[in-house]
C-alpha cells in the first residue's frame, strides 16, 4: 500500500487507524529490522523489493526502540506520518 493510500484509509477508517497504530507501536518496541518492523513497514511498500529496500535504508539512521529517535515519512501530498517511541501521528497541512 502506498503512503497516501495508508493515510487516506487511516483517516477514513478508525479501526484501520488503530490497527496501524498498534503495529507501529509493536515495531517501535521491537526495533528496526525485526518481524514487527517489517510487518508495519509492509503497509507502505508496493512489493517485496521495495520492502527490502526499506530494510537496507533503516540501518543508515540507527533508529531503534532504544535510541528514542523520530522517524518521519512525508508524501507528496504534504502529509507527514510520524512514528516515535511514544506516539504515532498523521499530519496533513
Tell me how many domains the chain contains. Answer: 1
C-beta separation of 69 from 63 below 8 A? yes
Range 85-92 average pLDDT = 54
Range 24-44 average pLDDT = 88
- Confirm whether pTM is higher than 0.75: no
pLDDT at residue 60, rounded to an integer? 44
Please give the full DSSP string across the chain, using - where no structure is assigned: --HHHHHHHHHH-HHHHHHHHHHHHHHHHH-TTSHHHHHHHTTT-SSHHHHHHHHHHHHHHT--TTTT--EEEE-TTSEEEEE-SS-EEEEE-
Q: What percent of the chain has pLDDT over 90?
A: 10
* Domain carrying residue 28: 3-92
Amino acid at each position: 500500500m502506498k503512503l497516501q493510500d495508508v493515510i487516506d484509509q487511516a483517516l477514513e477508517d478508525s479501526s484501520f487507524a488503530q490497527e496501524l497504530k498498534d503495529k507501529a507501536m509493536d515495531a517501535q518496541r521491537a526495533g528496526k529490522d525485526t518481524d514487527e518492523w517489517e510487518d508495519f513497514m509492509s503497509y507502505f511498500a508496493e512489493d517485496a523489493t521495495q520492502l527490502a529496500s526499506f530494510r537496507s535504508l533503516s540501518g543508515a539512521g540507527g533508529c531503534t526502540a532504544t535510541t528514542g529517535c523520530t522517524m518521519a515519512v512525508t508524501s507528496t501530498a504534504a502529509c507527514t506520518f510520524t512514528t516515535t517511541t511514544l506516539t504515532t501521528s498523521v499530519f496533513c497541512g
